[in-house]
Amino acid sequence: MLKPLRHIGTAAASAALCALLLGLSTTAVAAGIKDGLKIAFLPKQINNPYEVIADDGGLAAIKEFKGEGKVVGPSDAGASSQVQYINTLITQRQNAIVIAANDENAVVPYLKKAMSQGIKVVTFDSDTAADGRQIFVNQANAEGIGRGQIQLVSKLMGGEGEFAILSATPNATNQNTWIKWMQEELKKPEYAKIKLVKIAYGNDDDQKSFVETQGLLQAYPNLKAIVSPTTVGIAAAARYISTSSSKGKVAVTGLGTPNQMRAFVKNGTVQAFQLWDPGQLGYLAAYAAAGLASGTITGKEGESFDAGKLGKRTIGPKGEVILGPPTTFDATNIDNFNF
C-alpha cells in the first residue's frame, strides 16, 4: 500500500510542481506586463505585404500578453499620410503607438503630443528623429544592411559595371540610411569598377516601381544590376525583368520577402536577395511597447525587457533595439522560408 501511495504522492507533487512551473513560465512570458494594454500599430502603408506580416507579428505578441491590439494606417507611404491616424490614436487614449515612420520629421510633433499625454511611442522598421519616440526597434544593424547589399550586388555583377538603386519613397528613413551605407561601402577600392548611375524612387507603389524599372533599363542600356532595398520595389523590378529581354543580363537584388520572390528565383530572374523575418520585427516591437506602457522600461540604454519567444532583449545606444542579422535567400534555401 505504501508504495502506490508514495507514488500517488510523488505524482501529485510533480503535478503541483508542473503547475507551478507552468504558472511561472506564463508569468515569465509577460513579465511585468499589465493586462489589457491598448497598443496600435501604424505601418507605412496598410496594403504593403511586408507591413502586413510585421503587423500580424505584433498582434500575435499583444494576444500573448492579453492586450488589445489594432492596426490602422494610410494606403500610401507619403510623408504626412500618418498624421491623421496619430491624432485619432491620441483621442482614443491608446497606451502605445508602434509606428513605421514614412518621414523622419513630419510625424514628430504629433508623436511628441502623444508622449506628452502619457502614450508610449515605439518606432519600428523606419525610425523618426530620436525625440519622436522612446524606442526604435530596428530589423538589423543599418550599416550592416547597407554594406551587405553592395557586397551582394558586386558578387552578382562580377565586380564591375553600372548599377542603379530602386528605392521606396525619397523620404523613407530606413531606405535613406541603408543607401548612405551603400555609398560608404562603394568607396572601398574593391568596388572601383562598379558605378552607381542612378537612385530611382518607386514610392513603395507597385505600378510606379514597375515603370521606374522600365525607365532605368531604357536610360542605362549597359546596366548590369538593380538593387531595390524595398520589398515592393524588388518584386516589381523582378516582375518587369522576368518578361523582358533583360532577363539573365540585368541582375535584380535587394530586400524582398521569400514568398513574393520565390517565383522569380525559380524562373532564374533573381539569384539572391536578403531580408529578416518581418513577423519577428513586429512581435519584438509589441513587447517593447508593452514594457514601456507597463513601466518596466523607459527606453534608456542598458535596460532589458522580456520579448516572449524572442527572449530577453536589451536597449542599445539611442534607444535602439536590434532584431538580428539579415538572411540571404537563394535557390538553395528559399523553400525553407514561408513569409
By the criterion CB under 6 A, which residues form the site for ligand RAM? 44, 48, 50, 100, 125-126, 168, 172, 174, 204, 230-232, 255
Q: Give strand pairing partners of 274.
A: 255, 328
| Closer to ligand RAM by Cβ: residue 47 or 242 | 47
Q: CB 148 → ligand RAM: shortest distance, Å?
A: 13
| Closer to ligand RAM by Cβ: residue 141 or 174 | 174
Nearest to 294 by CA among 9, 38, 4, 7: 38
115 sits in which H/E element: helix 108-116
Q: CB 292 → ligand RAM: shortest distance, Å?
A: 22
Which residues, 6+ apart, have CB-to-CB distance to 254 below 8 Å?
A: 149, 166, 226, 227, 228, 229, 230, 233, 234, 237, 273, 274
Grid coordinates representing 188? 572601398
Query: Measured at the alpha carbon of residue 169, what is the angle toward residues 167 and 175, in degrees to the nearest 5?
Result: 55
Residue entry with cell 525625440: 131
Say how many C-beta atoms besides its own lie within 10 A of residue 260's C-beta: 20
| Closer to ligand RAM by Cβ: residue 14 or 105 | 105
| Closer to ligand RAM by Cβ: residue 174 or 246 | 174
d(CA 203, CA 324): 26
| Closer to ligand RAM by Cβ: residue 176 or 294 | 176
φ, ψ for residue 275 (rounded to 5)? Answer: -175, 175
| Closer to ligand RAM by Cβ: residue 95 or 174 | 174
Q: Assign residue 282 a region (left: φ > 0; alpha: ψ between -120 and 50; beta: otherwise).
A: alpha
Half-sphere exposure of 220 (CA within 13 A, CB side): 20
Q: CB 336 → ligand RAM: shortest distance, Å?
A: 20
| Closer to ligand RAM by Cβ: residue 51 or 64 | 51
